[in-house]
Structure 1
Amino acid sequence: MSKDLYYKDLHADENEFEIFHRSPSIEYSFYNAVKSGDMETVLKNCTEDAFINLDGTGVLSHNSVTNIKYHFVITAAMLTRYCIDGGLKPEQAYRLSDFYILKMDSCTTVRQVADLHHVMAKDFTGKMILQKKSSIISKPVMQCVNYIYSHIKERITIQDLSEHTGFSANYLSRVFKQNLGLSISDYIREQKIEKATYLLRYSDRPIIDIANYLSFSSQSHFIQTFENYTGLTPKKYRDKYYKSMW
């Protein structure tokens, strides 16, 4: 093959993959909506299925599922960094990113990846809404919240929080109720149930293992507490949401 013909074929291959990339401002506006806790804009983006419309975003693979998975990882990375910049704790942001990328890895269709993208975007946005609220929460209460988040698998008592913060149990109970509108024990239970819903949705762990993992005194106690908060037993919750998601 002559040199001229070689370069002609080379440029033909380049033209085959040439596309016009859309303005980065479109993606930046979505990332900023998540960062600022603008749930209305994020929900609109999800409703319009903007993520699945990849025109102008570049082709990263000729396999449609692989292509959208690559874009999912990019989005997860960008949301992580935007939210950290917005004040979300790096450990929490990276944990969310790792969680959703691992779940995405098991997706087998474009629709599943897109649906998981919507869940991830709303989850990050919700965390940023809470982050904004935390700016008006007193330091002792934030210390308690961070401790509870980091030790959610353990049995947490008010005495544990008192020792961690250096404040008396009575003082913590009072300011916690004033700031968040519920007792420390109720908040701990609420966070454990929130964690349980994720495990029921996105894992195959037996219910008794989830109860033990979150340090409930017994499986029956876990089931009763879960039903009080969600209106469903753990089994019914998994049957309803696990199968509908995957």
Structure 2
Amino acid sequence: MELNQLRYLCIHLNNLSGIPTRIYQGGKQIFYCSSLHFPSDPFIKYSKDILCCSKDLGYYITPEFSYYGIIKHQDYAIIIGPTSQIGITDDELKEYAKEIHVNPIDYDQFITAYRNISSISLPDLVEILIIFNFCINGKEISTIEALNLNLSEIKEVKESFQKEGLTEIHQQIENVIKEGNLKGIDHFLVSQSNFYINMNSVNQLRQAKNSFIVNATIVSRAAIGKGLDKEMADTVLRNYLKKCEDCQSIKNVTDLHSKMIREFTTRIQKATQSKEKNELISKAKAYIDEHFEKRLSTDEIATEMNVSRPYLSDQFKKATGKNISEYIMVKKIEHAKKELEFF
């Protein structure tokens, strides 16, 4: 895609979202678009950390809980942000302005511009990145993949999780999901009932939501690994991320966290059971196809499948709409018709 086309997309993205957009090439800014008048671009403070991103698509969470997105195309880097759902005090914004060398007489202008940035959630920013990435790189990527791409590269969040001892908890979450044991899930949730409440962040609710995003991504990834349909997992994840952003308290996030883990675990169980049943029916059909010329009984087939006769009969009927004896008869008739074709 040509530079003028990238500029066109950036302009209209800014018109739609109200979020500053910029294009970098070789580490230098070559295009900037924003309806807001910053005396100095707030992106400067985090440009080194964000521009070194090794992925085609990524996002970055700052210590102020602002978000930036980055999309790479050829030797260009498109930067979207900042946006945030957390209020920053005037003193914090003045300190911010000072760090990026804004002239003191322009502090008020910087503060006013920053406060007028459109506020969107992290999941919504990720969806914008997904669409933008598809437009310029032609690559399809799911919400789960996008959220998972750069979580380990978010320096501030990673350090915060390590400080709080949350990385071990994330591993525990992944393990209990993979085990798929609802009783084990309940025990784990009770033991971690203060998971979000004990966070030390000043913006506890925002930190809780960010941690929820990490946990939900881990859970959905583990669910896919256990056989849950990828599109289904992606849909469930997006639904919970939206609900999370609507939470008004840490208790709401905690309750949603429990509900999310239970739902994914239940869906994994159903997917696993469905897969096992499909395999059972496939094996039973294959056995019948191989032995239908002799006298076959449901008991014999059930024994070969290592299941009970009633269970096999019930599952076979549900899957095929026929009982086993009817299926065997159909096979014999089909075979007889083929034999007659040779006479």
Question: Could you state the TM-score of these two structures normalised by the residue count of structure 1?
Answer: 0.46
Structure with the bigger percentage of strand: 2
Indicate the structure whose relative CO is greater, using CA pairs within 8 Å and at least 6 residues apart. Answer: 1
Name the structure with the higher helix share: 1
- What is the TM-score of this pair, normalised by structure 2? 0.34
- Look at both structures and tell me which one has the larger radius of gyration over its CA atoms: 2
